[in-house]
Every structure is written in structure tokens, then in C-alpha cells.
Amino acid sequence: MNLKRIIETELEPTLFSLGYRRGNWGQGWYQYKNDEAGIDIEYHVARVGQQFTRGIEVDFVAYGLGRKWFSLSDFPGESPIYYDTQAELDHKLRHAFDATVNIVLPYIQDMKKYAVPDPCSEDYQALANCPMQRAERFSSQYHIPMIPERTTLIQLNSILKSIRPTNLSELRDSFRANYETLINMAAFYGTLFVKKAPRFCWGWAPLIPPDDPIYPLIAPKTERFVILEIGDPDITPGIRIDALSFSVRVWNYMEIKRYQFTSVALM
């Protein structure tokens, strides 16, 4: 069974029943669009990322969420799909179809459902006053975006401004000293991470070790982080970079809300 027939006989009927129609098709590229839902799905065969290879990539564009773009491999448990034989291609393409319908599309609907535009809504405030209930509710759901809690951010900002470490070890010690204070914040946003960013380079390291008893509570499987950036991500000419800056940015997968505080100590 060739690739085109697999798509036409196994994928299309399901997508058509969900309100999708064919978009642009090309060599190894198959697009489906749902204008009412504002979602485009693209299957790329023989390509992963921008590399042409023996692989499969599924891209999604959610126009109703500010044209948010992501790939199937962004999801926990999903990795770039590679194949060596036609049989592997058939099997893994079917997996990509199944993941599209059963994982990604429900996730997009959850993103829309829980994208609370007003952090002062009655339901949100009720959850904000019950940390354990809040953590249980959000950590039990798959990729649910959340709006930052302003009072927690102010509290975190106060802690940051009191920290004047000169190296990463002192920074970690300072946060461990404020461990209890940060638990509620971490339970709400996800894991607190520190990023070494003298030049905005990547690299994530959890401040709280995975074997800590509280770790499952504060590390829900979501793509949202509270980030501590070390270094100056702004490489503007004339700006000193011989400083250790602390920038906390609250980010969720939809990038609806973003708050940032900074504290700087000269090295």
C-alpha cells in the first residue's frame, strides 16, 4: 500500500468527519485545514525539521491561538519519527495519524478552553486560594496553559531582589533557602528552572532534584516554565555583559501572558 493510499483511506475519513478538508498537497507534503476551528495540520514525509531525511514530521498551526505553531515531536513521549523500510514508514505514519487525532487535537481544544483571558475571574481566584487543589487540577491535565498569579510574582520578585550571588552555586543555594516559599509558585507554574544564559544560550537545569518528594507535585507534564535567566540575553552593543542578571519570565505554551522581573549584581 503506497503512502498516498494510506493517507486517503486511513487518515482522510477521520479528519473529514472532524470538519477538515484538503489543503495544499505536494511531493511528500499533505495539508488539511479546518477553517471553523482555525487549525492547519501538515504531514511532511522525508523531512524532519528543515532536514530532508528518512523521517516524518507533523506540524500544527492554531490560528485561533495567535497562529501558534508546534510539532508532534514537541509532545511528551513523542520523538522525531524516522524509518528505514517501507514497512516502518507505514507503521510510523499510522502512529502519527493516531497521535494527531487522540493527542494533539484534544490538546488544542484544551488550550482554547482553558485560555483564561482575565486572571481576575471568579474561578481563577478560587483556585489561586487553594494551592493543593490548584496543583492537582492542573498537573492532572495534559498541556493546560495557565495565567500567572500576580501576588506570587510580586513575592518572587522580592526574593530575587534580595539575592546577590556571584556564581551559579550561590544562586542555587539561595533558592534552596527559599524552598518553602517557592513551592506554591512552582506548583502553579510548573518546575522552577535556571538557565545559564551569558549569551542567551540554551540549557535547562531544575533547581529542585527529581528525587525530591515534592517533585511530582511541582512538575506537571506541561510546556510551561518559570525561567531564571543568568546573564544578559540582550546583546545590544555598548551594554555591559560582565554582570550576573536574574530575569524571571513566566511563560506558557500559548505565550498569552509574560511577566518579567530583573535583578543585577556586578561580578
DSSP 10-40: IIHHHHHHTT-EEEEEETTEEEEEETTTTEE
Residue 13 has pLDDT above 60, yes or no: yes
More confident call, 41 vs 222: 41
Q: Any idea which of 1-15, 91-105, 250-264 has the lowest mean pLDDT?
A: 250-264
| Rg from Cα positions in the chain | 22
Asked if residue 155 and residue 69 are part of one domain, the reply reads no
Asked if residue 206 and residue 96 are part of one domain, the reply reads no
Residue 134 lies in a domain: no
- Among the listed residues 111, 109, 82, the one whose alpha carbon sits nearest the alpha carbon of residue 95: 82
Q: Are 148 and 256 in contact (CB under 8 A)?
A: no
Give residue-wise pLDDT tens across range 65-123. Answer: 555 667 777 665 677 777 888 788 888 888 888 888 887 787 777 656 544 343 334 44
Asked if residue 255 and residue 211 are part of one domain, the reply reads yes
Instruction: Give the count of alpha carbons within 13 A of 16, CB side only.
Output: 8
The whole-angstrom separation of Cα 189 and Cα 149 is 9
Confidence of residue 21 (pLDDT cuts 50, 70, 90): very high
Residue 207 lies in a domain: yes
Question: How are beta strands 225-230 and 192-196 bridged, if at all?
Answer: parallel
Asked if residue 156 and residue 105 are part of one domain, the reply reads no
Asked if residue 154 and residue 100 are part of one domain, the reply reads no
Give residue 177's identity as a one-letter amino acid code.
Answer: A
Number of domains the chain is built from = 2
The whole-angstrom separation of Cα 118 and Cα 170 is 37
The three-state secondary structure class of 244 is strand
Residue 228 lies in a domain: yes
Give residue-wise pLDDT tens across range 177-207. Answer: 554 444 444 444 433 333 332 332 222 333 3
Residue 124 lies in a domain: no
DSSP-H helix ranges across 74-143? 86-99, 105-113, 122-128, 131-139
Instruction: Give the count of alpha carbons within 13 A of 132, CB side only.
Output: 1
Asked if residue 89 and residue 22 are part of one domain, the reply reads yes
Confidence of residue 233 (pLDDT cuts 50, 70, 90): very low
Which pTM does this prediction carry? 0.44
Residue 122 lies in a domain: no
The whole-angstrom separation of Cα 247 and Cα 260 is 6
Last residue of a domain, one of 113, 134, 169: 113
Asked if residue 170 and residue 81 are part of one domain, the reply reads no
DSSP tally for the chain: helices H, then strands E: 10, 11
Enclosing domain of residue 213: 145-266
The whole-angstrom separation of Cα 156 and Cα 57 is 39
Give residue-wise pLDDT tens across range 39-79. Answer: 888 888 765 555 556 777 888 887 755 556 677 776 656 77
Residue 109 lies in a domain: yes
Residue 55 lies in a domain: yes
Residue 239 grid coordinates: 551594554
Residue 19 has pLDDT above 80, yes or no: yes
Average pLDDT over every residue of 8-13: 86
The whole-angstrom separation of Cα 30 and Cα 246 is 44
Asked if residue 250 and residue 157 are part of one domain, the reply reads yes
Asked if residue 218 and residue 165 are part of one domain, the reply reads yes
Residue 238 lies in a domain: yes
